[in-house]
Amino acid sequence: MSSDLKGHKKKKSIGFRFAWNGIKEVWSSERNFRIHLIAGVLCIAAGASLRVSTVEWALLIIMIAIVITLEMINSSIERVMDYLAPQYHPLAGLVKDIAAGAVLIASIASLIVAAFIFVPRLITLF
């Protein structure tokens, strides 16, 4: 194998290690991330219990990924803003609020999707 290919594989594994470190950091430091991840796991358990279709699985997984990803981006933005503006600054606060708003919108959308998928099944059970 050429040295270029070896270096390319090594770079990918290093990138994965950094990404995994980021996931571990956000898990240990961000309560909302843990809440969203646990909600996602519960959603997956509900989907398995209620035998959702393939398309419904795809929608659930996409919504879970969007919420978790936005939560991680929000956490990153908060840290960058805290670094750039250690003293309170109204613009830094606004940037953080906007990022948090993105998570809120995705969370509400995910609840709506979950309701469309799960409520009819739950109604037929009771």
Active site residues per annotation = 71
Token pair listed for 15: 């990138």
For 51-74, give the DSSP string. T--HHHHHHHHHHHHHHHHHHHHH
Half-sphere CA count of 2, side-chain side, radius 13 A: 3
Q: Are 89 and 83 spatial neighbours (Cβ–Cβ below 8 Å)? A: no
